[in-house]
Structures are given as C-alpha cells and as structure tokens.
Structure 1
Amino acid sequence: MTNTSLAAYADPENPALPKVGMDIELGRTALLITDPQIDFLSPKGAAWDAFGESITEHNTVENIGRLLQASKSAGIEVVISPHYYYPFDHRWDFAATGETLMHKLRMFDRRDPLSLEGFDGSGADWMPEYKEFIHDGKTIVCSPHKIAGPQTNDVVFQLRKKKIDKVILAGMAANFCVESHLRDLVEKGFEVAVVRDATAGSKLPEGDAYLAALVNFRWFANDLWTTADAVDRLSRAR
C-alpha cells in the first residue's frame, strides 16, 4: 500500500459538507459487520478478482478483526448481517445487475436454510480470523439479507430489541451492502459511523466502487472513522 495509491481517497482539504460526528455510548452503541465471509474477503473466495485489490489496499481483513476485538473488549453488542443464497434463491424470475453477478459467481451458496452441511470452509462461511469473536455465544448473527440492504433481514429488529440507536458500521462491500445498510439505518433514525478502511469495493471497468461509496459515506454517515480512530474511541469508552 502506497500513499500514491490512496491519494484519490483522501479527504478534501476544504470540505463543503459540515462535520457532524458521533460519540460512542455504552449500552446504546453496536458494531455491525456486513458479510464477513470467505467469498468476499479471501483469495479463495468467488469475488476476489473483483474485490481483492481494494481489500489488500485498505488492509480490510485485519481492520475488521481489530474492530471485532476492540468491540468485544469494550463490551458493546456485535451484530453480523450475513449474505446467504439457498437453491430456491437461484430460481428467481428476475434480478438486477449486482445480484445477477453474485448468482453467476455462486457467492454465499448454502445447500439448505436448515442445514449446515458443507458450510464449514465454504464461501458462505466466516473468515477464519473472525470465528472466535462470532462464535463466542454473545454475537448476534442475523438472518441473511438477500441483495444489499437490511430490509429483508432482522438487523433493525435486533438493534431495536437491544435499545441500540448508534451503529459503528463496517464490512463488505463498500458501495453495495455497507452503503445500503447505512442508508436504511439512517432513514430509520439511527446514528451511524462508517469505518472507512474496514470495508472495500470492486475495481472493474465500470469504475472504482470504493471511491463511489466513500463519496456517499461523506453525505449520509454521521461520522467517518479509520479503524485506528474507532479502536481508540472504543478503548476510551470502556
């Protein structure tokens, strides 16, 4: 990773958008990670060709792990919004561009919603680095979202049931699931801080998805942090 490669993502010297900010309040704040799964984040995953460069550039895998560790140490709720596709999902009568690509790549495939046969180590499984945090008996693992946003799963319900109204948001992918979760949470009255280097985007002929998401993060999020900033805030919130 070089300064030159990240120059396009630097904050403007004279921003036009106002600085708002978000404080961490224990009991009211949760870490929400979208799609911390092999198919996005591992060189073995189905989408690595599209996302690998950005993931490497931002040190995304390690940064998500640092967020999980810091959140557990601080004692805040950790919520996972996964992506799974079952055989019947591949029989939809129509699909938009992004979901069509995911189906084509067979991302996040599981054999059955009631069975974990073949799940361990598959593209739908968690990154191995995160399993100790997700399998600790305390992490909230939500039902799967199906395209990008939490409208089709129980993320908002789970947050409300824990009286959470502030969310630290990270995961994959920047302009797809992360941005969609951000937009929906803000519309539903949550404060959201996005951790900018604990996500990544595709780099395709159509454009740099991370850069597109970063612009929108600046517009929609209450705050935009680095992992180092988030970890420091969490350590001081204990």
Structure 2
Amino acid sequence: MNRMGVEWNPARSALVIVDVQNDYCHKDGSIAKQGLDVSMAEQMLPNLKQMIRTCKENNVPVIYIQTIHEDSTDSKTWVKRLKNKSQKDLCRKNTWGSEFFHLAPEDEDVIVIKHRYSAFINTRFDSVLRAMEIDTLLMAGVSTNICVESTARDGFMLDYDILLLSDCTGAFTREEYDMSLKTIDKFFGSVTSSAEIMESLKREVQV
C-alpha cells in the first residue's frame, strides 16, 4: 500500500474530509468519554492541514462532511446501533461536539451534512460532485473503518475513483485502522499518502 500506482487528474478530484468533529476527535468529546482512543485523530491533523493547503494552492476543491444527529433523522433502526447509551449525545445539532475539530472551512469550501455513516446516503453529496465534474475522491477523516470506509465503498459503487490518504485518517484502534486500509486497497480503491499526492502535484506543475 501507500503507493501511487493509479492515474488521477487533480482537475477532476476533490479532497473529502469526513467527520473531523469534536465529538469524534477531541479528548473531551463523546467518543473519548466512552473510553475510546482518539489519539490518531490528533496525530493525523498536521498532515491533513498541509493537504488542505496544498489542495487550495492547486485548485483542488475541499469538501467537508459533517455528521449532524437530531430527533427528525433518528429512525428506530438507526438508534438501535447505540449499544452504549452515552452515544445518544454524539454530534447533536447545534452542539460543541458537532463542530469541526481544529479545522475552519472557508467560504469556497463545500460542507455536506450527513445523518448516517456514509456521506452518500440521503444527502446532496453526489449532486455536488456531479455538478463539480469530480470523479476522484481523496478520502480523509475519521473513523477510517466506519464513516470513511462507508463513504469510500458507496463512492466506488457509484463509479468514483477512491484514493484513501493513509496519513490523513484515523480510527479508534490500530487494528481497525489497518483492517480498513487493507479492505479499501484490495476492493474499493487505492491507499496512498498525502506526501505522495503532494509530490505528484509538484511533478504536474513542473511539466
């Protein structure tokens, strides 16, 4: 893994940042309060911020995916996923926990609100990508094995090319992270790194 063995066109690509929000990433957020390890989210942040800067410098759109939960979207089936009742406060509408974690979308960035694991389920995400003529998704964010992978899988099924940035994503255990990268790289896209993407952009500029 971690190789650029696929062709990609920056003019038809977007950086997709999934769920980098306080409840998922902050030491005082809902996930950390459940006893889960959020350190990978903190560790990936410098790489992600550099990737955001590089994308903007090269006119690659940045799309933020933000989870918002509220009573109107909490179906009985969806709520059944909550084995731990403390999760009921996760990313609730208009709370600190739902706000972005050390990231600040700019006016030209796109924010897509989702209510399920995948950013494609009952959202405007696919319409936004089609309107922007995007066919390649540079995937970043958390959690690698849940919302990032769910979005990557659905994107692949809708004929988007998936490039998962291994150093710009994180899970709550190393085992879950590693398993997800293997699954995506084998079946749903390619795993690379922000460094390799940035290097390929430099080469394109020099040509």
Same topology, TM > 0.5: yes
Q: CA deviation at 1:159?
A: 0.5
1:106 aligns with 2:89: yes
Matched with 2:97 is: 123
Q: Is the 8 A contact 1:26 1:237 kept in 2?
A: no
1:54 aligns with 2:40: yes
Q: Is the 8 A contact 2:69 2:115 kept in 1?
A: no
Quickly say closer, same or farther: Cα 1:98–1:60, change in 2 above 3 A.
farther
Gaps of 5+ in 1: 1-10, 12-18, 112-118
Quickly say closer, same or farther: Cα 1:87–1:145, change in 2 above 3 A.
closer
Q: CA deviation at 1:230?
A: 2.1
- Identical positions, percent: 17
Matched with 1:4 is: none
TM-score normalized with structure 2 length: 0.85
Q: Which moved more, 1:220-229 or 1:151-160?
A: 220-229
1:88-99 aligned at under 5 Å gives the runs 88-90=72-74, 92-95=75-78, 98=81
* Matched AA of 1:137: D
Instruction: Tell me the number of residue pairs that the alignment of Structure 1 and Structure 2 aligns.
Output: 203
RMSD: 2.6
Matched with 2:151 is: 181
Rg larger in 1 or in 2? 1
Please give the per-residue CA displacement for 1:35-61, whole angstroms capped at 9, x wherever unaligned: 1211112212211332424335xx212
Structure in which a larger fraction of residues adopt strand = 2
1:69 aligns with 2:53: yes
Q: Is the 8 A contact 1:55 1:201 kept in 2?
A: yes
Gaps of 5+ in 2: none
- How far apart in 2 are the matches of 1:76 and 1:178? 19
1:27 aligns with 2:11: yes
Q: Is the 8 A contact 2:114 2:121 kept in 1?
A: no
TM-score normalized with structure 1 length: 0.75
* Matched AA of 1:54: M
Q: CA deviation at 1:23?
A: 2.9
Q: Is the 8 A contact 1:21 1:222 kept in 2?
A: no
